[in-house]
Amino acid sequence: MRVPKIYIRHLLTAIAVMVLLLAGAPAALTQSAQEPAAELGHFYNQELTFGSCEGFAATALEEQLYVDPFNCARLEVPLDYDDPTGETMQIAVLRLPAQGEPRERIGSLVINPGGPGGSGMQIAVLSALGLRNSPLLQHFDWVGFDPRGVGASSPAISCFTDAESDRGENKTTLLGTSGEWTAADTRELMEKCANGSGGEAVLAAVGTRNVARDMDVLRTALGDETLTFFGQSYGTRLGAVYAEMFPQNVRAMVLDGVLDPRQGSAERRLALHAGFQRSFDLMAEFCAESSDCPLGTDPEQSTALFQTLMQPLIDDPVPAGNGRTLNFFQATGGVGAGLYTAEAWPRIIDGLAQLKHEGRGDKLLTINDDFLGRDPNGTWSNFIEANLAINCNDEQRRTPEQEADLRRQIFDVNPFLDTGRPVEGVTRDACEFWPGEPTLGFPYAQDVEGLPDTLIVSITGDPSTPYAAGVSLADSLGGTLLTVEGERHTVALEGISPCVNEIVADYLIDLELPAEGDRCVL
């Protein structure tokens, strides 16, 4: 099975995407799991039937990935957990059976790659390829699932056609980018999503707390008394919420690239954008070492020069090949995607050089396409649409005045995104007409009792989930923090750090945590 490197790199970064049986298990697994409510027995007692993954792939990449020895199944869950006799949803699950001897098998390792909106099925395959020599694959069934509303799960969130996405019309929030939104625009967005996704009840049902409930149903359907979980980026929120709701059902959790459970939505946005400006500045310094850097040889002027390249794209997109164009939204999206890891900085610089010297956006558009899940034949994943829907159910909503104020603050901490346009009266919360109220609550996962030791991985130069967020979550959960020195977002499932790989494997297999103060360097 040969997968193009570009897909592996971007899916493992982005996205970036990301249970246990008693046979042969350590004694720590004998703790009693929380009993589900009796009315949910139909769901908790189901058995998964794994078979061919034919029919689960929506893109050309997935057709390459979802093949033997991976197999697939569908898990039935209630649309509304308060109405378990009502409509249901089907959660797509992919599994690679443990590769070792049966007596070595501990159980299942359930993976979520983040986003929100990332495909757990994709990351399960890609991480298995990247960690093919890891003892984890000997001891665990490798399990990825597409959360409700995502990817191959049904119903899936759908707001835009492939043609609309190709034209750059798949904007789900204009925070920190370009354009004007009215109340009519945000209402139309919600209605488009409802019409494409199966109704407003579906839009209101895809929040993180419902996904955590689905994960507990999945735990029992896999035959596991307690859950072994690996979450990256947004997956750390999912893991923390599961730990809050079902602490007695946890065996072990690795949470890598952390969202701070104590930060409200606006505060976290500002921290994220400050992190991206820091990474932009480091990228500009790297670029300035070359005399032909498209941002010049003085890093102090790089943001201003970047703005001169980007801001004209608001009104005048440039050609980008195959009849497509590159607008401000797509260009800054491509740069932001490349900032997730220092290894991608040369791609950003190459794309900026093409824009500056040729007036074309092919290369920046390709970075944005890769990150958002467009395959070469023009089929888009629903990553960006599911991201909107899940965030609308989780995040705190803002008035137009609060949104404009936040956008101004973001331009202050992240000036490379500044449009140069006024924000008063033109900025709105994309979720303002979303059905239902947010269900996550801030802060979350506080004062959790009965939770086993967890392993928190946080990178000092993470542009998306700052290092301090890992410190905060470790304190909230009473977990052990592993500090990793480097410039990237997430590391533990990607096979690039033997130090991290060994620590994670020792913890997940033997429940052995690193010593206080242990560090890894990328």
d(CA 193, CA 438): 17
Catalytic residue among 224, 369, 394, 462: 462
List of residues 6+ apart from 315 with CB closer than 8 A: none
* Catalytic residue list contains 462: yes
**Helices and strands (DSSP H and E) totals, the chain:** 19, 11
Report H helices in 395-517.
400-413, 467-477, 498-510
Catalytic residue among 233, 279, 472, 497: 233
Buried b (16+ CB within 10 A) or exposed e, 46-61: eebeeeebeebbbbeb
CA distances from 484 to 112, 503, 515, 518, 520 (A): 20, 12, 14, 9, 5
List of residues 6+ apart from 407 with CB closer than 8 A: 175, 176, 423, 427
* Catalytic residue list contains 197: no
Cβ neighbours around 30 below 10 Å, total: 10
d(CA 250, CA 128): 23
Within 13 Å of residue 481, how many CA atoms lie on the same side as its CB? 21
DSSP 492: T
* H/E run at residue 74: strand 71-78
Cβ neighbours around 342 below 10 Å, total: 18
d(CA 502, CA 363): 36
Catalytic residue among 10, 139, 273, 489: 489
Within 13 Å of residue 437, how many CA atoms lie on the same side as its CB? 1
Placement of tokens 């009849």 in the chain: 323
3-class state of residue 149 by DSSP: strand
* Catalytic residue list contains 273: no
d(CA 470, CA 261): 10
Q: Which residues are identified as catalytic?
A: 233, 462, 489
